Structure 1
Amino acid sequence: MAFPTHIVAVGGIVEDGHGNILLVKTRDGGWVFPGGQVEVGENLIDALSREIKEESGINTTVSHLIGIYSNTAIHKWYDGVTDVPTKLMLDFVCKPVGGELSVSDETTDSRWVARDQVLDLITAPAIRTRFRAYLDFDGTTTYMEYVTKPEFQIKNRTGVSR
């Protein structure tokens, strides 16, 4: 029997207290809020803090969970052979506590963007949808299943009460 394989990832919507959101520009995916895969043996909060620091140079504290997402698209990896596993993503609101804006091997730019201008920069449909869930957050955590291939499509959406 094979155990199911999932990629677990975290995303951080970093608010600076002045109405600005931290965005990073990836080398291949455009503007996004920072985040990435949880490494083996790493907890979610440490993974998120590490990813934000690596991608943007900003140190953060994690505040609260706002969204849980499953990307259940079935497609092949870049090698054309390997199946890409289901991706489970958890988005949290974070607060900056220091650091300096910088870039990394994965990013070409990082900046603070006015909250009402964020969607002008983010073009990826899944990231836009997840950011809208942050804008609409009313204390109820969103759960959403979507696929990104062959095109973005929401399959299931529900609220999960605290």
Structure 2
Amino acid sequence: MMTDQPKHVLVACGLVRNDPGQLLLVKHRLRGWELPQGRVEEGEGLVFALSREILEETGVTVNHARLAVIWSKVSHPAAVIFCFIARYASGALQPSDETPEVSWCSDIEAKRLVTHPVNRDRMASVLAFDGALKLHSYATGPYRVLS
């Protein structure tokens, strides 16, 4: 007898810096300010999904994406969030239907603007990247970091 396999949503998230060192943030209609992120579509590579989501949400292209942190959401709906560090390549900031505001900001300003607990901790973990891939897990209802 076959049992249903667990299903996870895959998400690509990017901490993008421009030449002056500013971070790219988007303001999501529900969650507020956050790093650009979105679901990986079936059959899509992670770096391609990251680049596509950033372009769709901000109007800019990125390069030199490097995986920094993986977050596992263990509560329903389960998700695995692949957090990358990337460099701005080209394009002008352009809001989207999903992200009505986009902005370059300093690390200090980003820490002030990103207030949703999940996105705040996700951004902090990528900002703390020291060259070694980190793994974290969390649950919601209520939100808590497990590792």
Q: TM-score, normalised by structure 1?
A: 0.86
Residue type of the alignment partner of 2:62 = T
Identity %: 35
CA contact (8 A) 2:14 2:35 kept: yes
Q: 1:133 aligns with which of 125, 130, 135?
A: 125
Q: 1:62 deviation in Å? A: 3.8
Q: 1:105 deviation in Å? A: 1.6
Counterpart for residue 89 of structure 1: 81
Distance 2:53 2:64 in 1: 12
Residue type of the alignment partner of 1:44 = L
SS at the partner of 2:66? strand
CA contact (8 A) 1:62 1:92 kept: no
Distance 2:53 2:108 in 1: 24
SS at the partner of 1:107? coil
Counterpart for residue 17 of structure 1: 19
Q: 2:143 aligns with which of 135, 142, 152?
A: 152
RMSD of equivalent CA atoms: 1.1
Matching of residue 99 in structure 1 with residue 91 in structure 2 = yes
Q: 1:4 deviation in Å? A: 2.1
Residue type of the alignment partner of 1:128 = R
Distance 1:133 1:146 in 2: 13
Distance 1:87 1:62 in 2: 24
Residue type of the alignment partner of 1:124 = H
Superimposed CA distance per residue, residues 90-141 of structure 1 (whole angstroms, 9 cap, x where no aligned partner)? 0000111111101112111001011221110001111111111122211111
CA contact (8 A) 2:67 2:85 kept: yes
Superimposed CA distance per residue, residues 39-61 of structure 1 (whole angstroms, 9 cap, x where no aligned partner)? 01110011000000000111111
How many residues of Structure 1 are paired with residues of Structure 2 in the alignment? 145
Distance 1:111 1:68 in 2: 24
Matching of residue 122 in structure 1 with residue 124 in structure 2 = no
Distance 2:21 2:92 in 1: 18
Matching of residue 108 in structure 1 with residue 110 in structure 2 = no
Gaps spanning 5+ residues in structure 2: where?
A: none
Runs of 4+ aligned structure 1 residues displaced above 4 Å come to: none
Q: 1:12 deviation in Å? A: 0.5
